[in-house]
Each structure stands twice: as structure tokens, then as C-alpha cells.
Amino acid sequence: MSEESPVLVDVADGIMVITLNRPAAKNAVNKALAEGVAAAIDQLESSPDIHVAILTGAGGTFCSGMDLKGFVRGETPMIAGRGFAGLCEYRCAKPLIAAVEGYALAGGFELAISCDLIVASDASKFGIPEVKRGLAAAAGGLVKLPKQIPQRIAKEWALTGDFVSAGRAYELGLINQVVAAGTALEGAKALAAKIAANGPLAVAKSKEVVDNAQDWTSDVMFAKQNEIVLPVMTSEDAIEGATAFAEKRAPVWKGR
């Protein structure tokens, strides 16, 4: 994509970096940005050579949410089947890491919590301040957040619209790592490299189980898990992993 694109995509060593690229607007989400994110996710899902993706923002800010000027004009930054910003109602088969600098607010916050993992700058701020504008955090803040942190805390954030520090979000288990300002992408790449080194089939199926496990009752959870992971145990990658360990070499994954 060109430098003027609202979304930039770079792929190296099995890792895709998706950059929200409207820095003058604090990476606020308009229709074009939503379409760009959806297209990047399509590329991620369809390419066997890409194992993990990082979502970040240009200009020292992750995302300030919906472009309110566009909203007033009647523009809707939604993609059918994907939701807000082309991602918030979609679950990727491959891991997605948010690298957060600056603000992740409103829809930007909902984008971050739609990722599997979050690496955040110690100067970053999170929040769902929609109520301060007479709106509601309907892109995931009201339904996903209570599944990721204690319900009473999620309710407080939703009803007050207050901003939250990276430190507080880390204490609550919402984010995985807090790093020095300006190094969130670097930290996310290091985390992504660890994931990309593993068997892609095993990673995808492990993610699928964890994504769904909270909705399974205890009497069915192992049966549901086994439906997903048993094929991994008999895969070519499983044999390769064991063989590579015995031969003291790095495995060569086939994803099957």
C-alpha cells in the first residue's frame, strides 16, 4: 500500500504489521480505514507464510476511536461481518497482537481488546468514554470487556468513561506487557517472534480452544477441546516437532 493509505501493511519473517495510518486524526476510524483493516486481515488469514499479526498506530497513538466528523456526515466505519473498523466483530484464526502507544480510546480501545494479546507503552491510556458523548461502547466494550476483567470494574469504566493507565490495565490482567514509551511495537515483535517460531497448526488450534473455552460448561469442555486438538496430535507437524527435538535441530513446519 502507498504511504497515503489509511492502513499500511508490512510482512517479514512470518509476522505482519498492520499500521493504522491517519496520524493527523489520531488514527480515528473512518470507512476507508475499516476497509483497509479488513483487507489486511483477509491477507493474514489467506497466507500460509504469515503466522501472527501486530496491530499498531502511526504517529505515537494507537487509535482515538471513531471519526466523529465522519459520523456526523453519516459515514459508518463498519464492515459487514467484521463490525467496527473491520475487526471488532471478527475472530481471527491466527494470533493478533495490539502494540499500543498513546491513546486506545472508545473504538480504539475496542480494537485493542479484540486482539489476542496487548503490549502497551507505560505512557498509554485506555478507556471507553462514549458515554461522555451520549454514545455507548457498542463495538465490544460492553460485551467483551466484562469477559476480560472483573465485571464491576468493566461496569465502572463503561459508566464513567474515565481513562485508565497502562499500569492499572496490567494489574487487572487486561494487557500482557507494559514497556517503555516508544517501544510497544518492538515489544510486540519480540512476542510475535516467539509465536511465529511454533507450529502454526498447534498455535491456531490452541488459540481456538482458548477463545471458546469460557463458553463451555465443565461437562463438555474436554469433548469440545478434543474435537479441535486431536487432529493436531496426529499431524505432520507433530511428527516433525518430535523428530526435530530428537535430532537437536529447529523444526520445519508445514502447517498440517
**Catalytic (active-site) positions:** 110, 130
Q: Distance between CA atoms of 254 and 238, rounded to whole angstroms?
A: 10
Residues 6+ apart with CB under 8 A from 76: 31
> What crossing angle do the helices spanning 200-213 and 221-233 adopt, rounded to 10°?
180
Residues 6+ apart with CB under 8 A from 106: 64, 65, 66, 127, 128, 129, 130, 137, 141
Q: How many CA atoms lie within 13 A of 246 on its CB side?
A: 6
Residues 6+ apart with CB under 8 A from 141: 106, 109, 110, 113, 128, 130, 157, 158
Cβ 11 vs Cβ 50: under 8 Å: yes
Q: Distance between CA atoms of 212 and 93, rounded to whole angstroms?
A: 12
